[in-house]
Amino acid sequence: MVDTAYRGLLISDVDSTFLTQEVIELVADYAGVRDDVEEVTLRAMRGELDFAESLHHRVAALKGLPATVIDEVREQLVPTPGALELASEAIERGWLVALVSGGFEEIITPLAEQVGIQSVLANRFEVADGHLTGRVDGPIVDREAKAMQARFLSAAHGVPRERIIALGDGANDIDLMAEAGLAVGFHPKPALREVVDLVIDGPSLDPVREHLARLDGF
């Protein structure tokens, strides 16, 4: 059964795609472990490490941080040039816009709500007594989960594959790309570059707006 009919689905990774940053690295700054976390993140995005294992390792390094750090990191977010405009235009055209992220819902969702983005799937920090426990709360959002979300939203809202645009940058987005009529790699790592339809190596997501308009016929 179709819940709400949309003209298309724009589904995007968040860290280093919709945002210029990796959210977990911003949090790691407060724990003094950014360099270590950054190295593990890069290796995971290249496909050299299992994503779920790498995320558990990185989150464990944040154990003991006060949960108020989440609010501070949220204020530091820098959207990729053209990202907010792309999301807004897609929504105006009657598209469903979704974010799927190996990052963290507590930080991403408020930004999504400001833009009017209708769907967010991301990980959650486990918090106890006002501090991060060093564990993830709930199932890990990995490459398979991202693809499953695309399939779910497509089926739930009657969007055919040819009207799905997917954006990502790393190996964790490979399965997501397979669900899209147009797979877009934004400064993609080598593993992702091999499987996308469109590579953007420039500073902005504006080229995607051109494809959005072309799909809509204007």
Q: Which member of 3, 15, 36, 216 is catalytic?
A: 15
Q: How far is CA 55 from the centre of its chain?
A: 14
Q: Which of 216, 184, 188, 189 is nearest to 48 (CA)?
A: 189
What span, in angstroms and rounded, lies between the C-alpha atoms of 161 and 144?
Answer: 17
Query: Edge-to-edge strand order for the sheet containing 182-186?
Result: 119-123, 96-104, 9-12, 164-168, 182-186, 198-200
Q: Which of 13, 142, 169, 175 is catalytic?
A: 13
Q: 51-60 and 23-31 helices cross at what angle (nearest 10)?
A: 30
Specify whether 15 is catalytic: yes
13 catalytic residue (yes or no):
yes
Q: Give the CA diameter of the chain.
A: 53
Dump strand ranges (E) for the chain.
9-12, 96-104, 119-123, 125-128, 131-136, 164-168, 182-186, 198-200
CA-atom Rg of the chain in angstroms: 17
Q: List, by residue number, the catalytic residues.
A: 13, 15
